[in-house]
Structure 1
Amino acid sequence: MTQTAPSSGPVTTADDAGRLSDLILQLQEKGLRISGPLERRPGGAGPSDAGMIWVEGSPVTVPVDAGYVGDSPYEMLSEDSGHGIYRDGVRLASATPANRPQFYDLSTADGTPYWKLALMHLDSLASTVLQTCAYWGNDDQCRFCGIGVSLDSGSTVKVKRPEQLAEVAVAARDLDGAVDITLTTGSTYGKDRGAFYVSKCGQAMKEASGLPVEVQFEPPTDLAVIDTVRDRGIDSLGIHVESFDPQVLARVAPPKARTGIERYFETWEYAVERFGEGQVTTYVILGMGEDPELTIEGCKRAVDIGVYPFIVPLRPVPGSLMADAVPPAADYTERIARAVAPELVRRGLTADKVAAGCARCQACSALGSLERSIQLGMPSMPGGIPARSAS
């Protein structure tokens, strides 16, 4: 099982958890220089420009191909046994690069390579089931999104069929140790916004593999759609607002701005009643010029109703409308995450309780390691509102 966590396991002391979260924040800002082969996700609608590694046993995705990475002080070097992450010649942590998944060598009966249907993100199997979006290529296109980039590159197919994905899920579980499934979709103009199809795919994959499934979609116009998703056996939902700052949404994601932040809260409350606290999550992207006070306030309000705000630094997607942006400073991301992590711990909504999806994985965020540092006894750092970060 090539993608399971290394035997060193996650950190077990508060000090170690704190050092790990600091390192993850720095790597996600500055990137990691590498000199050998590394399983990566170069672009598209997932963790973009992502080198996939385990750092001290914890899953981490870091920029490896962006132009600014060449100036990073962090590099991964081979050692007598394994790899290490170094800065200025000083070893900071052990590192285990993810291997190329074995199931990538297989194809469906009609000749479609499995890797065009779903990808391994460390220990999570992920797919965009509809690789088109009603907003792509027009004035509504979300500036941070790259859903059309993968399709144009020929690295995926437009529509993944449930029976194909079920086949892949079994192979990823058996050959590469996949522990959950994360499915997203381009939005449609229908009342379900794509929820019906993505949950149909998730149902087929779960029935075939037994793995827990998260599906991601926009707030449907009819909230009863969420009941159908639940009845299909889906474990977790990702309904992503992206930013709690209305001005940022209007600039970077016009359709989400028209939906309105209050509609997201209405949808989350409905979903939490059906899926349970901690099983409804939302992406919160930092570094797009958002007001940090609004961001922290929105995250805390989400936590209060049982929603997990998955805080991530902007990861510019090559080929997207924000391709020339850079991630926010690590201290900006850290201070917002440190204001939210204690609230998650207090409410019992920590990442280890999420059944499936991005918040379960935590590879694109330092939030999970901050939660562990609090749980293990590290005092929370003083709060305070950081200065606004612009992309």
Structure 2
Amino acid sequence: MTALYSESSSTGRSTGVDVSSLIIDLQSVGLRVEAPVESRRGGAGPSDSGMLWIEGVPVTVPTQTDGPSPYVLKAEDDGQGIYRDGVKLASVATSHRPRFYDMTTADGVPYWKIALLHLDSLASTVLQTCNYWGNSDQCRFCGIGVSLDSGRTIAKKTPAQLAEVAVAARDLDGAVDATLTTGSTRAPDRGAYYVAECGQAVKEASGLPVEVQFEPPHDLAVLDRVHGSGVDAVGIHVESFDPKVLAHVAPGKFRTGIETYFRTWERAVELWGPGRVSTYVILGMGEDPDLTIAACKRAVEIGVYPFVVPLRPVAGSLMEEVAPPTAEYTERVYRKVAGYLEERGIGADTAVAGCARCQACSGINGLQNQLSEGKPLLQIGSRPAAGS
């Protein structure tokens, strides 16, 4: 196995780092911070994470001021760096508080309660309520109600509010796309019509590419209307391909049925095209990895991008105490799925907008880039012991 980084036998100093492996490891064990970093607290999305560019690669990683992580973010004279055992592994640029956060709507709602900037992607949950939340159907990994309960957002964002914020985020902070999601509703469209209406308003006002995310509607004809709104991509998230895991962590999605997701994706790909339909696949919830890899392959074959991510435990969720999966485990799955994506010719560049375009919450894109450049996929391996 190839090590995460090598050391000079004479100096004990780092002679090089594989950035993809470093990112995969950081997203497993986290990063201690001794320097200021913009982060997202609680709720849906990349919660309780620092937002960084590691050697130019956008990344979200769990951050902590103390804890077991061997990695630490330190301030330097000309920036910041990630260190392990006193050895600098990578240079880092951190994001700063977006300027549009200091603005408010005419009726006094702070812009940051309407949408947040995740590195260079504007993101919002347009309906911060979900028919699964607070009952036996609550998704165990989800924190959609946490932000609302803490007063960090509002329950319903209007298309006009989102359009106004999107223009400001584009002009003041360089947002390059918008990702709009929603809690599931009891209506037959599952909230798809409203999030599409919001997406249309954002796209028309700002010109930004937009992805909207929703559950499979009862009638696939809903997808035609969503497509007619002009949004660029859709995310329809199964979360886990293992039915036993899905039944435990997301009972409502389990009742929808994995085959329903596949039927919905097939129609969505017909409308939006290969690579513009995506699904989250969360690792570390007890799933069968071989079953997961096989289902990801099936999704890729029909043109769906399986955005594979490690579990990011959300404070206030039902899985807040569950540890993320190991880097070795996620890397094994990434390696296989990256190969399928490369063979199919879909990736972050074909996604256009949304999580699969941004890639900051996963390490899979780095491995796919290695494949596309004809480089061998390096494996995560042994690392120097502390103090070496």
TM range (shorter): over 0.9
CA distance in 1, matches of 2:129, 2:44: 11
Answering whether residue 25 of structure 2 is matched by residue 26 of structure 1, we say yes
Distance across 2 between alignment mates of 1:352 and 1:200: 25
- How much does 1:65 deviate? 3.7
Deviation for aligned residue 1:379 = 2.5
* In the alignment, structure 1 residue 257 sits paired with structure 2 residue 254: yes
Q: 1:168/1:45 Cα in 2 relative to 1: closer, same or farther (>3 Å)?
A: same
1:224 is matched with which residue? 221
Indicate conservation of the 8 Å contact 1:17/1:372, yes or no.
no
Q: Secondary structure at the match of 1:93?
A: strand
Q: Percent identity?
A: 68
2-side partners of 1:140 and 1:154: how far apart? 24
SS where residue 308 of structure 1 aligns?
strand
Equivalent AA in structure 1 for residue 18 of structure 2: R
Unaligned runs of at least 5 residues, structure 1: 1-15, 383-391
Amino acid at match of 1:34: V
CA distance in 2 between counterparts of 1:50 and 1:332 reads 21
Any idea what the Cα deviations from partners look like across 1:135-162, whole Å, max 9, x if unmatched?
1000000000000000000000000010
Aligned mates of 1:72, 1:381 — CA distance in 2: 22
Whether the 8 Å contact between 2:277 and 2:303 is mirrored in structure 1 is yes
* Contact kept in structure 1, 2:74 and 2:83, CA below 8 Å: yes
Matched residues in 1 for 2:88 and 2:58: separation? 19
Letter in 2 for 1:181: A
Shift of 1:48: 1.2
Alignment of 1:20-99 (within 5 A): 20-65=19-64, 70-99=67-96
* TM alignment of 1:1-391, pairs within 5 A: 19-65=18-64, 70-380=67-377
The one-character-per-residue Cα deviations of 1:321-353 (angstroms, maximum 9, x if unpaired) are: 001111100000000000110110111111122
Q: Which amino acid aligns with 1:295?
A: T
- Structure 1 CA distance, aligned partners of 2:233 and 2:63? 30
- The normalised TM-score by structure 1 is 0.92
| TM-score when normalising by structure 2 | 0.92
- Read off the aligned partner of 1:120 and give its amino acid letter: L
- Does structure 1 retain, via aligned residues, the 8 Å contact 2:101–2:111? yes
For 2:298 and 2:378, how far apart are their aligned partners in 1? 21
- The alignment covers a number of residue pairs equal to 365
Give the conservation status (yes or no) of the 8 Å contact 1:42–1:65: no
Residues 106-142 of structure 1 show CA distances to partners (whole Å, capped at 9, x for unaligned) of 0000000000000000000000000000010000000
State the alpha-carbon separation in 2 of the partners of residues 305 and 353 from structure 1: 14
1:75, 1:169 → 2: CA distance? Answer: 34
| Counterpart-to-counterpart distance in 1, 2:145 and 2:246 | 20
Maintained 8 Å contact 2:16/2:89: no
State the Cα distance separating 1:18 from its structure 2 match: 8.4
Q: Deviations over 1:157-178 (max 9, x none)?
A: 0000100010000000000000
Paired AA for residue 223 in structure 2: I
Corresponding letter in the other structure for 2:57: S
| Preserved contact between residue 206 and residue 212 of structure 1 (Cα < 8 Å) | yes
> What SS does the aligned partner of 1:186 have?
coil
| 3-state DSSP of counterpart to 1:70 | coil
Q: How far off its partner does 1:37 sit?
A: 2.2
SS at match of 2:88: strand
- 1:285 CA drift (Å): 0.1
Alignment partners' CA distance in 2, 1:142 and 1:313: 16
Cα deviation, 1:166-198, whole Å, max 9, x if unaligned, reads: 000000000000000001000001111000000
Bigger radius of gyration among the two: 2
Q: Distance in 1 between matches of 2:42 and 2:17?
A: 30
**Is the Cα contact below 8 Å between 1:342 and 1:380 reproduced in 2?**
no
Cα contact 2:17–2:90 (8 A) shared by 1: no
Offset from partner CA, 1:294-337 (integer Å, 9 cap, x none): 10000000000000000000000000000111110000000000
Partner Cα distance (1:244, 1:18) in 2 = 33
Aligned structure 1 segments of 4 or more residues deviating by more than 3 angstroms: none
SS in 1 for 2:368: helix
Q: Partners in 1 of 2:311 and 2:259 — Cα distance? A: 23
**Which has the larger displacement, 47-56 or 282-291?**
47-56
